[in-house]
Each structure stands twice: as C-alpha cells, then as structure tokens.
Homo-oligomer: A and B are copies of this chain.
C-alpha cells in the first residue's frame, strides 16, 4: 500500500486530498472518502489506507482548502451554506472524482462514494447529480435533495445514524428515507442505538458541539457495514 498527497482545485480553493493505492498492479475498484464537516484529518486518511489494504484505490478528499476547522462556529459558518447549496457540494465531489478517475489504477466502471456528515451529503449529491457510482454510503449525513433528483441515483444507498443524534433527528431520517423510497432507490438505514452525532469519529482534541460523541463499538460496526457494502457492490476480484 502506498499513499500520495494530491492538490487540486474546487470551490475556489486549493484542496489537498489523500490518495491510497493498493499493492500490486492493474486497475482496482475505487472509493471516494468524504470527511466530516470539520475537514479532512488522519481519521479519513487512515480509512482510505484501510481500504487500500483491502485492495481498493481510495481517495480521501478535502472540504476546506487543506484546513481543518476545529472551532465549531467556524465549521458551521462554512458547512451550513455548503450543505444548503447542492451545486457547491457537487463541485467539490466532482473535483475529487476527477482526481480519482485520473489515477491509472482506478477502474472507472467501479467507483463507490462513502462519506461522513458533510462528506456523506456530498456523496449523496453526486448520486442525485447522476454520477455513475456503484454504491453510496453515508454516515450521519442523511440529507434530502432537490425534488425529483434522487431518481437519478442508480446504485445501492446505505445510510447509518446514531439513534440519539440531535443533529440528524428522527424527522430528518424519515424525510431522507421517504425521498429514497419514493425515488425507487435501493436503500438501507442502520440506526445505532444510543449513539450520538459523529459516533464513528475518534475523540478529537478540539472542542465539540453538544450532541457529538464517539462510540467505539458502533464505530467498528459502521465500518464493518461500509466494508460489507463495498464487498457487495464493488468487490475486489
């Protein structure tokens, strides 16, 4: 497994992503990895590395021009307008997808997108934009889209959320699953009992918002669930 840092342009910024390549040669299925709103950190870089160990080309993409936003107010000030603007989310996602597609090891016919929070919302928007993905996984980011656009999603969608997540409450989960169901999408939702927002994310040193907390056991399960989805939809042969 080898890794490489890649700079690219998106959303008016210079983004800095993390590409992880599996051992061996030849094309492999590929995975976009979208970070939480706080931004790309070693958490997502390690996930990309873990996927490369499993045989995938993985690209953990950047949200904020090479920065993390440890201050909740700064994070929300940037992410809330972004989450309200499908065009900007798609721009960020498509720029990352272009990087992944430009990698010679990537099999362009077998690309999946996984993401967490804002990164998950971007993965969903790529599907609503009609991008040819083989699977979408979103943890915490159960965001709804513009009317009618979910019907463009042509791959399985897997979603995970903490039962006690106040930022993604039951009404939002129901709006999301209703959108998927009405659009005829092949979807699943896993509710992790007792988990808060960002339950998958190891503790960080900066301040966190109320309702956010790590749940190591459910974090391991959610990762297992995502890996199972990839094994189903983009198996490494």
Taking Cβ atoms with an 8 Å cutoff, the residues of A that contact B are 157, 163-164, 170, 174, 177, 180-181, 185-194, 217-218, 221, 224-225, 228, 232
Give the distance to chain B from A185, nearest Cβ to Cβ, in Å: 7
Tell me the nearest residue of chain B to A218, going by C-beta: B188
Which of B164, B185, B193, B228 is within 8 Å of A193, CB to CB?
B185
Which of B181, B185, B186, B191 is within 8 Å of A188, CB to CB?
B191
Contacts of A191 in B (CB 8 A): 177, 188-191
Does B177 contact A188, Cβ atoms closer than 8 Å? no
Considering the chains assembled together, what is the distance between the CA atoms of A177 and B189 in angstroms?
Answer: 14
Considering the chains assembled together, what is the distance between the CA atoms of A232 and B174 in angstroms?
Answer: 29
Give the distance to chain B from A84, nearest Cβ to Cβ, in Å: 26
A-B pairs with lowest CB-CB distance, top 8? A187-B193, A189-B191, A190-B190, A188-B192, A188-B193, A224-B228, A181-B193, A180-B193
Does B221 contact A193, Cβ atoms closer than 8 Å? no
Q: List 19 A-B contacts (CB under 8 A).
A: A163-B177, A163-B181, A170-B174, A177-B191, A177-B193, A181-B193, A185-B193, A186-B193, A187-B194, A188-B190, A188-B191, A188-B192, A189-B193, A190-B191, A191-B191, A224-B228, A225-B225, A225-B228, A228-B228
Considering the chains assembled together, what is the distance between the CA atoms of A194 and B218 in angstroms?
Answer: 25
Contacts of A185 in B (CB 8 A): 193
Does A186 contact B228, Cβ atoms closer than 8 Å? no
Known: A181-B163, A189-B191, A193-B180. A221 touches B217 (CB 8 A): no
Contacts of A170 in B (CB 8 A): 174
Considering the chains assembled together, what is the distance between the CA atoms of A217 and B158 in angstroms?
Answer: 13
Tell me the nearest residue of chain B to A192, going by C-beta: B188
Candidate in A170, A180, A194, A232 with the most chain B CB atoms within 10 angstroms: A194
Does B177 contact A194, Cβ atoms closer than 8 Å? no
Considering the chains assembled together, what is the distance between the CA atoms of A181 and B164 in angstroms?
Answer: 9
Considering the chains assembled together, what is the distance between the CA atoms of A144 and B13 in angstroms?
Answer: 52
Considering the chains assembled together, what is the distance between the CA atoms of A224 and B157 in angstroms?
Answer: 17
